[in-house]
Structure 1
Amino acid sequence: MALLYPPTGFHFLVRFEGLLLKYPAMPDFGFQEVSGLSVEIGVEEYAEGGENRFKHRMPNPVSYPNLVLKRGMAISSQIAKWFKDSVEGFEFEAQEITVILLSPEKLPLQAWNFVNAWPVKWSIEGFNAMENTMMIENIEFAYQYYRRISPDDISL
């Protein structure tokens, strides 16, 4: 499918690849925001003796920020159970997380698969007696790296 214009970013799906088998009664979906999808190659500068015009620049290992998911607070969910096991039992079982960008026709356009992810931070916002707003939870995941997946290799 050829796109003439860049896709919009409001229609997406987040899948937790291993959690549905571990916690089948609590499926997780429906996030309002995904952030932290970036990668950066570090640069090391090396000054050569006698060369004063410039420094040599060498690539360093790649670094990835945490993946951050934001949604209305869920009372019972796979992620909440996964995070509880990690915090209370100090058991860190890495899972794969896949973020899938969808077309208006609900066809996959692009996906990113986060390898060996585990929860590292959970926070809520929204306690305010002066406003009638939804409770929002932010969940952060550390991971080793991510892979970009082409539309032909995505299964829903």
Structure 2
Amino acid sequence: MEALESFKDFMDPNPVLSHRFGVTFFAGGVIPNPIDFRFQKVRGINTEVQLETISEGGQNLHRHHLPNQINYNNLILERGVVSPSVSRVSPTELLSPLNLEFNNTFSRFQFTPSNVLITLFKNDQGIPAASWLFLKAYPVKWSVSDLDATSNSVLIDTMELAYSRFQSIRL
């Protein structure tokens, strides 16, 4: 009974909220990108096992479902387009490494895979609750929300990445 009580003290009964997260891009797989980490929304953190269905001769009551391969959906990142104040930012900080990578992919058809770490935080102090590491991610789609003179909404940059696999890390 004492073990159960200590376990209850260890586990936080409050679920972690999904709005405290950070995205870290690692150029070359190891060097963190210090500029591109703020995103409004992240989608596509899921995977599934594709199954192959085999019917056994003479057996009409059931089929065998065998694992075939793993499928990963693309990782979709959304962020507001910002225009930094040139008086407060150095010229080197104006160049987003992520935008440069996307421009290089879509203008020159050159791909530079990087690792991406998405971290979910427990609270405002930045204590991690969970992370997902996406390996060998590269751009496959880039879009900007509609320009609309009748709307007063934030312009959204949507970036889509394919990747070779991901690992879920619970802390």
| Number of equivalenced pairs | 150
Q: Which letter maps to 2:117?
A: T
Cα RMSD of the aligned pairs, angstroms, is 2.1
Is 1:43 equivalent to 2:51 in the alignment? yes
Within the candidate set 1, 10, 13, 1:4 is matched to 13
Q: Report the alpha carbon displacement of residue 21 of structure 1 after superposing the two structures with TM.
A: 8.2
Matches within 5 A, 1:2-151: 2-18=11-27, 27-74=35-82, 76-104=95-123, 105-151=125-171
Structure 1 gap ranges (5+)? 152-156
Q: Cα–Cα, structure 1 residues 121 and 145, in superposed 2: closer, same or farther, change >3 Å?
A: same
Structure 2 residue ranges without an equivalent (≥5): 1-9, 84-94
Amino acid in the other structure paired with 1:128:
D
Q: What secondary structure is seen at the aligned counterpart in 2 of 1:17?
A: strand
Structure 1 residues 109 and 131, CA gap change in structure 2 (3 angstroms): same
Deviations 1:64-107 (A, max 9, x none): 10000001024642211001111112111110000000111310
Deviation at 1:150, TM superposition (A): 3.2
| Counterpart in the other structure of 1:154 | none
Deviation at 1:52, TM superposition (A): 1.0
TM-score normalised by the chain length of structure 1? 0.88
Partner-residue secondary structure (3-state), 1:123: strand
1:26-70 Cα distance to aligned partner (Å, 9 max, x none): 711210100000010111110111111111111111101000000
**Between Structure 1 and Structure 2, whose CA radius of gyration is higher?**
2
Over 2 Å off, 4+ runs: 19-24
Q: How far 1:2 sits from its partner (Å)?
A: 3.0
After TM superposition, the score normalised by the length of structure 2 is: 0.80
In 2, distance between residues paired with 1:2 and 1:124?
42
